[in-house]
Amino acid sequence: MEGWLADSRPYEGQWQKWSWLSVLADFRASVSQVGPRLHAVLGAELAATVAASASLKADFEFLSHAAMAVQLQVHRATAPGIFGQLSSQWAAADARTAAWLDLVDACRDTSIAYETLATRRDLFWQLVRASDHDDSQMSDFLAGALGNNAFHIALARIWLGDVSATEVSLPHPDQSAGLTEAEQLDFCERLLTKPPTPGRYVVWIAFGRASPGVIHRVVGPISFWNAKWLRTALEQGGPDLASIPAEVKVTGGTFRPEDLPDDEDVLLVRVDLDAGAWTDPVRVATEQVEAVVTLAGFHVDDAKWRPLAGHLVTVDDGVKGFAPFHQILSPDEIVNQLYQHAMDAELADLALQLGAHLPIVDGALSEIVQAVRWWQQARRQPPLAAVLMHVRVLELLTQRARVNKKWYEYLDDYQRSWWVRYVMVDELGQVINGCLLNYERIPSTADQQWLRDLSQAVTTYLPGGAFRRDLGKGVDALPELARLFSSHDDLGRRVQDAVGRYTVSALPAWRDDLEREWHLTLDRLVRVRNALAHGGPIVDDTVATVHGFAEQLAGWSLALALEGLLKGQDVAASNAAHQHDFNKWNDGLSSAGSVTEALIRS
């Protein structure tokens, strides 16, 4: 909302009206998900923004484009202050604590659905990030406290300032802290409300694939160090120690010289943030370094260096935070034998289906294969670039389907029911698979054996260790699975919800809820794409909510076109057949004889 209120482009009527209504719909949906404790804390500020958004919505719906262009300037003069007050309150410690307590309440109350619990969890983390805290570090601390883990609680106490790093002998990672539940929750609230520690901050991060020509180079408050040389000097001593900063020469406690990387191609980077009080010093330091490294890369016309995970944070030369340094592997770099065997099985199936139709001489195939390459390239791009490429693929496929519609209208007509059914089946598969893979959580050996027997009954094993689940058999076991898994467990809560959701009478209402979610998400995708293409307001968090959605729908649409062409159809015919099948599924959902008939065998 704040981005759109600050948008300096002149109001141009229909297209911007459509985007504004999408933003306002998202805002109203978000307000409805705020928990009761957070709602009470936000109080008047939240009520004022709701009233302002309602006034905006009414004006967009009832005023002419010319009148709205004038009225929008009035809103832009008053509404930013209203939303700014909510943003300030949103980032405050009492809002963060209220969101945490809403999440705790949802965990305790087994009548609250898993989706509500998950939404409160996501909202809580959004508030942690809004207050500029390191959500990864906070997650480790909170999980350690709730798990009664003495090791993580000791690290958290250093961060809180209860003890210094040199005074702590870290416990074994599996040792219990022995706290009561009340003490654990009190400790969590201390973590969430801790003000930043004032002092002189220094942060160390690292880059791989970086080989400097010198041992040490200084760029203002940023200094680059050869990691192997630095670690060797710290471990062996000698005259070189005199040139090494004091904070890494501290002995004892949680940090040791051997914790530093010693690879030939690793650079350690020290960032002196000077005196201050930082809630997330690692983020601030990383942004400074990335700016310098990126500028150097622009001048060299290449970008070879890769950031490593890990950091060291010191305040007044004392260690306040440490995370081990290590390489970050992308999924593409990890060998996955199950994937390879699954691909082989799919090729075997396609050999039976398509063998009689190959080779294909239709020129349309080359065009679709090129679009597949675009889609594959987009998957390796950041979300902003990927969304544009995925939409480009959808625009092409819309034209080839010969539907005389916009790409988003094509999606609504041809992919909405497919997406709804996919969500239903995918959720069922996740729940059943989660239960079968976590049988060891169950204390009773008899119940464990029942789960193993169920796994054998619903599973078909493929070469190489891959497998498929027969969800039709699994759905009948949901009531028993709900008995076995505690509703205070995330998996147990999902099973409990599934028992009520996967019934013939409940599916149509769930379908309607999912369609409302579809429309909100699709409208947001259109808004993001248009803003990217035409210089409108962009927020990375908003792009992240539609990135996977766009990739999935573009991939499905490509698969549909490819399958049709490989079977001797054109793209239009395959889309028409697909639309017919899923319209039939949607129309027949209310009259299905069983959940299996509605979702699995349809």
CA 370/CA 550 separation, integer angstroms: 18
Strand, helix or coil for residue 209? coil
Instruction: Pull the structure tokens for residue 28.
Output: 């109203």
Give the mean model confidence (pLDDT) for residues 540-560: 94
Please determine, for residue 47, whether its predicted confidence score (pLDDT) is greater than 80.
Answer: yes
pLDDT at residue 84 in the model: 93
pLDDT tens across 196-206, in order? 989 999 999 99
pLDDT tens across 476-512, in order? 999 999 999 999 888 999 999 999 999 999 999 999 9
pLDDT at residue 334 in the model: 60
pLDDT tens across 510-521, in order? 999 999 999 999
pLDDT at residue 168 in the model: 76
Residue whose entry in the numeric block shows the structure tokens 């147990």 = 492
Please determine, for residue 354, whether its predicted confidence score (pLDDT) is greater than 80.
Answer: no
Please determine, for residue 187, whether its predicted confidence score (pLDDT) is greater than 60.
Answer: yes
Give the mean model confidence (pLDDT) for residues 147-158: 93
The residue count for the chain: 602
Burial of 450 (0-12, 13-18, 19+ CB in 10 A): middle
Give the mean model confidence (pLDDT) for residues 119-138: 93
Give the mean model confidence (pLDDT) for residues 360-388: 87
pLDDT tens across 457-481, in order? 999 887 666 778 899 889 999 999 9
pLDDT tens across 68-127, in order? 999 999 999 999 999 999 999 999 999 999 999 999 999 999 999 999 999 999 999 999
Burial of 126 (0-12, 13-18, 19+ CB in 10 A): middle
Domains in the chain: boundaries:
2-94, 198-326, 365-420+508-600, 422-502
Please determine, for residue 423, whether its predicted confidence score (pLDDT) is greater than 90.
Answer: yes
Please determine, for residue 333, whether its predicted confidence score (pLDDT) is greater than 60.
Answer: no
